[in-house]
Structure formats: C-alpha cells, structure tokens
Amino acid sequence: MSRSRLLTRPALALLAAAIVSALPGLAAAQNLQELVEAARSYDATFRAAQAAAQSAEFRSAQADALTRPTAALSASAGTSVTDASRAPNTIQATTLQGGVNGRYPLFNRSNAASQAQARKALELSKAELDAAGQDLIIRVSQAYFDVLTAENALGAVRANKTFITEQLASAKRNFEVGTATITDTREAQARFDLASAQEIAADNDLRTKRVALDQLVGRSNVAPRPLVVPVELPGPVPADAELWVTAGDQNHPAIRRARVGLDVATLETEKARAAEKPTLDAVASVSGSNGRGGLEALNRSTGTNTVASLGLQFNMPLFTGGATQNRIKETLALEDQSRNQLDGARRGVALGTRQAFFGLQSVLAQVKALEAAEASSKLALESTQLGYRVGVRVNLDVLNAQSQLVTTQRDLAKARYDVLLATLRLRQASGQLGTADVESVNRLLAR
C-alpha cells in the first residue's frame, strides 16, 4: 500500500512545485504592458531614437530659414598714429564704422529642394522612431517570456526531482524488505543525481533571464505574470499570408525609410540641377563711419558719414569647370541606388512577413500536438505505474514515463509563450506592431 501511495503522487508533486515557484512573485507580479511602459522611459536605445526624432524637428526648422530674410550687424573701430616730421606733436586718427546688411532670397531653386529634403528627413526620423518602438516591444516581450519559460523549466525539473526522490526512497525500502533488486535503487539514484544537476542549470538560467529583464526595464526583482491556462491561443487574422505582406508594404518602417531615401535622392538631383539656374536676392545695407583727427585737422572732428543702399543681386553661373554636370551624374547614380534599396527593402519585408506568418502557424500546430502528447503521457504514466504495482514493469519504466510527462509539460508551456511572441513578431514583420497588440497579449496573462 505504501508503494501505491508513493507512486500516485507525481501529479500532486508537479502541481505543488508550480504553486511554490509562483508564490514569491504574486504580490509584486507585473504584466507585459506595465514593463513595456517602464522600458520606454528607461531603455537607452529607445530614448536615443526619441532624441534623434526630436532633433529632426529642429533640423527641419533650420531649412525653413533658407527662404526668410536675414540681417547681420557689423562694426569696427581703429586708431592710427603718425609721426609727422613737420608737426610738433604726434598725429593720432580714430575711426569708428558700423553697418547693417540684409538679404532676402527671391528666387533660388536649391533652397526649395533643401527645404523639401528637411521635411523628408523629418518623416525618416518618425519611421525610425516607430521601428525603435516596435523593436522595444519585441525585446521586452522576449525577455518577459524568457523568464516565464525558465520558471516553468525550473518547476518541471523540481517536480521531476521530487518524484524521483520518492521513487528512490521506495526502491530502497523495497530492496531492504527483499521485494526489489539493487538495480532499481541504482537507477533511481542515477536519475536523482541527473535531476540535481539539471536543477542547478535551470536555476542559473532563470537567474540570468531575470537579470536581463530587470536591466531592460530598469526595475529590480521583476516577477512576470504567467499565462492563464487553459487558454485558447488566437491564430493570425487575416489567415492569408499575402494580406500580411500587403500590409507590410504599406506600413513597415524599413520600407518607409527606403521611400523617404529615394525622395531625398531625387531632391538631391534637383539641387544639383539648380546649380545651373540663376539666383535673385534683394539686398540692403546701412553703414556709417566717424573719424577724428588726421594730418589736415589735428584733434578736430571730421564728421559722420552715412551710406544706405537697396537693390537686387542677380547671379548666373556660366562655367564651373564641369563640376555641376558631374554632380548631376553623381546624384542620378545615387538616385538609382536608392531605388534599388527600396526594392530590396520591399523584398526583405515580404520574406520576413511570410516567414513570421508560417512560423506562427507552426508553433500553433506544436501547441495542439503537445497538448495531445500531454494527455497521452499522463495515461502512459498511469499505465506504467499500474504495471509496476502488479510486477510487469520495472522502476526504470516508471521513471522514463514520468520524465516524458514532465518534459512534455515543459515544452508545452514554452510553445504557448512562443505563440504569443510569434504573434507579436508577425505584427512587427508587417509593420503594424503597437500598444494595442501588447494589450491583447496582456489579457491572456494572470491578473
């Protein structure tokens, strides 16, 4: 009877191990959405992208100044000393000069292209910030589910070790009373030693994963909320990979960056062509000077002179030694380069989206297969235990059946987290990943 009671405890041991491993983090557990928000204000990579996007706004404002009037103030003062041989004293002259110069561009094709480029650069910075935000969600989600997977792995190892400990004690008692051979004891001891080594490795892996998550979100002792089971994991919607590819072509930051890059290259060609065009500026200046002293009038003021001018300044390039023509050819080649980069970005996004779509379908199928395997493993363990009690199975068979069940449960838990992560990666691959997607995953986690 004692053997029977000991051999029917594996399910209880597994449940107890899972509960014990979850208890320390229940009070301070945090969900995925909370940690993503924490990382937004802490992660250095994302904050650098935010600063770059902010700087692009000021860079665009600088380009607007190209079509606005400018003014500059200039002033100078000088003193000259002359040793006049015919004068009884040294002659000293002081001059003060000042002026204001203004310029207002009336026609300049290069300035218009530079302004358009600055606006495109602002679009580029927004696309890069979107890409950084999506990358942050994936990095936090990966670290989050890595911790949960490591916790499940450690719980599975400990549950298996608990069961092996009971099997080892049972084998020793049976050997002492003469109902089992020393082989059962040695097999159980070998499994126990292996489980101890696996527990050490799993515990270290969990510590490493927790440190990575803490560093990413800027918090200490983060306890992620686990997935609620049983759960119905959602599949990809729409269920057509080509619809995801189409969405990626419209929304993906990499394609948006490449499009902007092509536009900037086209505008650079316009700037190069503008070097052959004339420019027209309105110019104005007001200057004054004041002098005192000199050879003709010692220590007597010579008066103040004021000059004002207003006019138009026309500039027409006639010959640049071939520089302008070669610059145009260079920008045309760079424009062709940008066009090919856009094609490459589209192909890369399409490939990545299809791979992410089929990857999600694969892990969904794995979850269903592992759920069936878990049920089969439970039945197999019960049958093996019954066979051991009636003497048709040996202790090793029971240990193998228990190990198979624990391994299947561990793989199933990991596959479920892989589905959630693959869902987010598919959204990222198509350029649609955002806060709403984090919220939808968050609803599947424990409250």
pLDDT tens, residue by residue, 8-23? 444 444 444 444 444 4
pLDDT value at position 174? 78
Q: Give the pLDDT band of residue 431 (cuts 50, 70, 90).
A: very high
Q: What percent of the chain has pLDDT over 70?
A: 88
Tell me what pLDDT residue 294 has.
56
Q: What is the 3-state secondary structure (H, E, C) of the chain?
A: CHHHHHHCCHHHHHHHHHHHHHHHHCCCEECHHHHHHHHHCCCHHHHHHHHHHHHHHHHHHHHHHHHCCEEEEEEEEEEEEECCCCCCCCEEEEEEEEEEEEEEEEECHHHHHHHHHHHHHHHHHHHHHHHHHHHHHHHHHHHHHHHHHHHHHHHHHHHHHHHHHHHHHHHHHHHHHCCCCHHHHHHHHHHHHHHHHHHHHHHHHHHHHHHHHHHHHCCCCCEECCECCCCCCCCCCCCCHHHHHHHHHHHCHHHHHHHHHHHHHHHHHHHHHHCCCCEEEEEEEEEEEEEECCCCCCCCEEEEEEEEEEEEEEECCCCCCCHHHHHHHHHHHHHHHHHHHHHHHHHHHHHHHHHHHHHHHHHHHHHHHHHHHHHHHHHHHHHHHHHHHHCCCCHHHHHHHHHHHHHHHHHHHHHHHHHHHHHHHHHHHCCCCCHHHHHHHHCCECC
pTM given for the model:
0.82
Mean pLDDT within 411-428: 96
Residue 40 has pLDDT above 90, yes or no: yes
Q: Which of 94-98, 149-153, 274-278 has the lowest mean pLDDT?
A: 94-98
Least confident of 138-142, 400-404, 436-440: 400-404
Query: Hey, which of 30-39, 228-237, 381-390, 391-400 has the most confident mean pLDDT?
Result: 30-39
Is the pLDDT at 296 greater than 80? The verdict is: no
Q: Checking DSSP bridges between strand 301-315 and strand 91-107, what pairing results, if any? A: unpaired
- Region 230-248: mean pLDDT is 92
Query: What tokens appear for 74 in the block?
Result: 């200039």
**If you average pLDDT over residues 167-175, what whole number do you get?**
83
Residue 3 has pLDDT above 60, yes or no: no
What band does 302 get if pLDDT is binned at 50, 70 and 90?
Answer: low
Output the pLDDT for position 231.
Answer: 87
Q: Is the pLDDT of residue 51 over 50?
A: yes
Whether the per-residue pLDDT at 227 is higher than 80: the answer is yes
Phi-psi region of 43 (alpha: psi -120 to 50; beta: other; left: phi over 0): beta
pLDDT at 238 over 80: yes
Mean of the pLDDT values across residues 202-216?
96
- For residue 4, what pLDDT is reported? 37
**Position with higher pLDDT, 187 vs 355:** 355
Tokens standing for residue 391: 């003497």
Residue 259 has pLDDT above 80, yes or no: yes
Look at residue 43 and tell me whether its pLDDT is greater than 90: yes
* Cis status of the peptide bond prior to 88, with omega within 30 of 0: no
User: Does residue 292 or residue 372 have the better pLDDT?
Assistant: 372
d(Cα 303, Cα 292) in Å, to the nearest integer?
A: 8
Mean per-residue pLDDT of the chain? 87
Cα dist from 162 to 155, 175, 402, 422, whole Å = 10, 20, 11, 33
Residue 88's pLDDT is: 57
pLDDT score of 25 more than 60: no
The pLDDT of residue 6: 39
* 61 band by pLDDT with thresholds 50, 70 and 90: confident
The amino acid sitting at 18 is A
pLDDT over 80 at 300, yes or no:
no
High-pLDDT (> 90) share of the chain, %: 62
* Stretch among 29-33, 315-319, 362-366 having the lowest mean pLDDT: 29-33
Per-residue pLDDT for 352 more than 70?
yes
Per-residue pLDDT band for 170 (boundaries 50, 70, 90) equals: confident
Q: For residue 64, what pLDDT is reported?
A: 86
